[in-house]
Amino acid sequence: MKPIFSITNSVAHSSARTGILHTDHGDVSTPCFIPVGTYGAVKTQSSEEIAELPSRILLSNTYHLYLRPGIEILTNAGGLHKFMNWDGTILTDSGGFQIFSLEGFRKVTEDGVTFRSHLDGSEHHFTPEKIVDIQRIIGSDFMMMLDVCPPGDADRKTWVNALKTTTNWAKRCMKQYKDTEPIYGYQQILIPIVQGGTDIELRKRSAAELCELEADAYAIGGLAVGEPKTDMLETVECMDAFLPKDKPRYLMGVGTPEDLVNSVSMGVDMFDCVLPTRNARNGQLFTFTGKINIRNSKYKTDFSPIDNNGFSYMSETYTKAYLHHLFKTEEILGYRIATQHNLRFYISLMNTIQKEIRKGSFTPWAKSFISHYIN
Amino acid sequence: MKPIFSITNSVAHSSARTGILHTDHGDVSTPCFIPVGTYGAVKTQSSEEIAELPSRILLSNTYHLYLRPGIEILTNAGGLHKFMNWDGTILTDSGGFQIFSLEGFRKVTEDGVTFRSHLDGSEHHFTPEKIVDIQRIIGSDFMMMLDVCPPGDADRKTWVNALKTTTNWAKRCMKQYKDTEPIYGYQQILIPIVQGGTDIELRKRSAAELCELEADAYAIGGLAVGEPKTDMLETVECMDAFLPKDKPRYLMGVGTPEDLVNSVSMGVDMFDCVLPTRNARNGQLFTFTGKINIRNSKYKTDFSPIDNNGFSYMSETYTKAYLHHLFKTEEILGYRIATQHNLRFYISLMNTIQKEIRKGSFTPWAKSFISHYIN
């Protein structure tokens, strides 16, 4: 098996590094941000528009795809790439986080987790093995293991139990992964998820147990789930020492532009988050100096371009006043423009980070960015 | 003033003809279908996508634009073309139809119509002069006169009164049009609207009165408002004799693919309708052999392209099964794909009609189309 990750640059007195993820659907430069397409579509965007982004990777969700369109359709389609007409890299989350966020019935045993669909209340059972099997059918380039993800305000006992089950499930996931072959002829990488809440000792234990599996990449899960921001960043920081240096680290569900810059300096290589897409649909636009909300009445008569930084055609073509109008009239085009802008901002931010790392100026740049960025 | 319309081909034993509308924003081949962008955006589509359609004309609505974004914004923007970043032709409906469709308070006097906004209940007063003034600010290439538009089941007395007021208002619109200049330097054409319900004698009277104004184009209004389909077509048919042959005829708010083919044979040159865009958002797709609804469960496992006729990139790229999935998951991308498909179908239909007229085979083609088209 060819190596899936190569580190290209690192930074003195920082854990920041650039690298390349090698997958059978192309290379992805890191640190990278992965747009979220839960149901096999990045909300409001076409696959062609996502393909035009400078970074050709997207995320989808095993739990959601399992419910809709379902495994039979994905099997008949020949996997998610063909189904959604996307030939870039796909990472699928297992859906563990979603299942543990569901309200109402859910039962965890050593075997797996039983839950009710949020759509029709039907009962389903996921095991570590089944999650691997489903992702084989989806055909994602990066598959996530099934984990137990407690809320941010859980007590230590809950974290300990979640960690224990997560490790056991990870072993079973890895066995199933090794016992099965990709269906569509291209390589799939299975990623374990470190748990342990914001308890450093537990994080160390979880990482150590998962490192024994010798996976090709490691994910940091169970953060950005309601815990204080400083606790989150302290936890990310400690992970750097607990995870192998030569393997990509993926911080799940994070975060704001500041979180990304801070986490890169702590050695994180991959991120995904709904912020740029979800907030776009509420009128929130990200810029290099902070967020704005285009619904604000001050934009009603602002005929300047949405953004002049050159990373989105739509941002340069349409004015703030027009976008304000589209939001006021609830035109779908408004959600499209804002989404395209935010995705391109996030990916442009990652490109800037990569460039600063290569130039050796990442640390002062990061300090300056964070001091100027208004949340 | 240069001629705005030239007839290029006509058909023996039929009133069908091809022609070209000449506007300062480009030529438009007729018979043409005009996509509806009520608030200065064709729902789900960007101006670039509309610009890629083979016919570069769209419709917007004076009443709606007057309420949002409002006249001040449109003035500051320098007109609708600039505001929405569209350099093709724009036709604006006056909004008469919309105002007469409003529930609740509305008062018509000889001076004009007083109504409450459907948005906030605020009271407004439109006069024929004001409607021209607003459209001068919008800067539409084709401006519609203010008319009185009764429902399809109105009695003859209502039609007579509507006709009378419409003629008086038309005279005042024309005077205001002649007394004012375009604001943005390009030509604007003012179009009167023939009323009279489905009463042939009243239609004749309305047309005769409006023809005295020597307008550059004529619209047939007050149809497709709930009257029986046969009455509608009989009315359209009679209009051919009542309107000047050398001027474009615009049938407002019509209609289905069959309506378009039938009306072309009766001498109509221009159409607009929300059907292709509105129905797209309900999953209804138009094809050359009839309508389908992509929500239907039989499309769940149909991995054939949405359409193979080559008129829409998205229709050829994505499968019916994927589009079905997007509708089931309420993904905006689904509405976009369906809208693009339907608009391109409608415009492809008009292109086919033009081609058949040029070839001299329109009449048998139309007969065959209608016999094969399943509603």
CA of A337 to nearest chain B CA: how many angstroms apart? 9
Q: What local confidence, expressed as pLDDT, does residue A73 receive?
A: 98
**Chain B contact for A355, CB < 8 A?**
no
Q: For B78, which residue in chain A has the nearest alpha carbon? A: A303
- Three-class SS state of B35: coil
Whether A321 sits inside 8 A of B68 (CB atoms) is: no
How far apart CA A353 and CA B150 sit, in angstroms, is 63
Residue A375 clears pLDDT 90, i.e. is over it: no
**What's the angle, vertex CA B277, arms to CA B346 and CA B287, rounded to 5?**
40
Angstrom distance (rounded) from CA A328 to CA A314: 18
Burial of A259 (0-12, 13-18, 19+ CB in 10 A): buried
Query: Which residues contact residue B181 at a Cβ distance below 8 angstroms, ignoring those fewer than 6 apart?
Result: none
- How confident is the model at residue A153, as a pLDDT? 85
Question: Any idea what DSSP says for residue B310?
Answer: S
**C-beta atoms of A329 and B39 within 8 A:** yes
How do residues A10-59 score in pLDDT, each as one tens digit?
Answer: 999 999 999 999 999 999 999 999 999 999 999 999 999 999 999 999 99
Q: At what angle do helices B229-242 and B200-211 cross, to 10 degrees?
A: 40
pLDDT of the residue at A288: 86
Choosing from A141, A259, A269, A272, the catalytic residue is A272
Q: How large is the ipTM? A: 0.97
What sign for the dihedral angle of Cα B169, B173, B175, B179? Answer: positive
Would you state the pLDDT for residue B299?
Answer: 98
Which run of H or of E encompasses B353?
helix B332-359
The sign of the torsion formed by the CA atoms of A178, A180, A181, A187 equals negative
B289: tokens are 């052999």
Tokens, residue A369:
């960015």
How would you list the strands of the sheet with B26-30, edge to edge?
B5-10, B17-23, B26-30
Q: How far apart are CA B182 and CA B159, in angstroms?
A: 33
Looking only at the bridges linking them, the beta strands covering B17-23 and B5-10 are: antiparallel
pLDDT of A353 higher than 80: yes
* Residue A333 and residue A263 in contact, taking contact as beta carbons nearer than 8 Å: no
SS (H, E, C) B119-154: CCCCEEEECHHHHHHHHHHHCCCEEECCCCCCCCCC
Nearest chain A residue to B77 by CA distance is: A303
Which residue of A67, A333, A339 is the best one to mutate when testing the B interface, meaning the one whose CB has the most B CBs within 10 A?
Answer: A333
Determine the distance in angstroms separating the CA of A89 from the nearest CA of chain B, rounded to an integer: 18
Contact state of A84 with B322 under an 8 Å Cβ cutoff:
yes
Show pLDDT as tens, one digit a residue, over chain B (375 residues).
Answer: 678 999 999 999 999 999 999 999 999 999 999 999 999 999 999 999 999 999 999 999 999 999 999 999 999 999 999 999 999 999 999 998 889 888 778 899 999 999 999 999 999 999 999 999 999 999 999 999 999 998 888 899 999 999 999 999 999 999 999 999 999 999 999 999 999 999 999 999 999 999 999 999 999 999 999 899 999 999 999 999 999 999 999 999 999 999 999 999 999 999 999 999 999 999 999 998 889 999 999 999 999 999 988 778 899 999 999 999 999 999 999 999 999 999 999 999 999 999 999 999 999 999 999 999 987
Residue A118, chain B, CB below 8 Å: the answer is no
Contact B328 A69 (CB under 8 A): yes
CB-based contact A96:A162 (threshold 8 Å): no
- Interface residue A159 vs chain B (CB under 8 A): no
pLDDT at B341: 97
For A224, residues 6+ apart whose C-beta sits below 8 A from its C-beta are: A232, A252, A253, A254, A255, A259, A273
Output the CA–CA distances (angstroms, integers) from residue B88 to A343, B42, B59, in the order listed: 29, 13, 11
B303 to A77: CB separation less than 8 angstroms, yes or no: yes
A1 band by pLDDT with thresholds 50, 70 and 90 = low
Is residue A248 reached through a cis peptide bond, with omega within 30 degrees of 0 on the bond before it? no
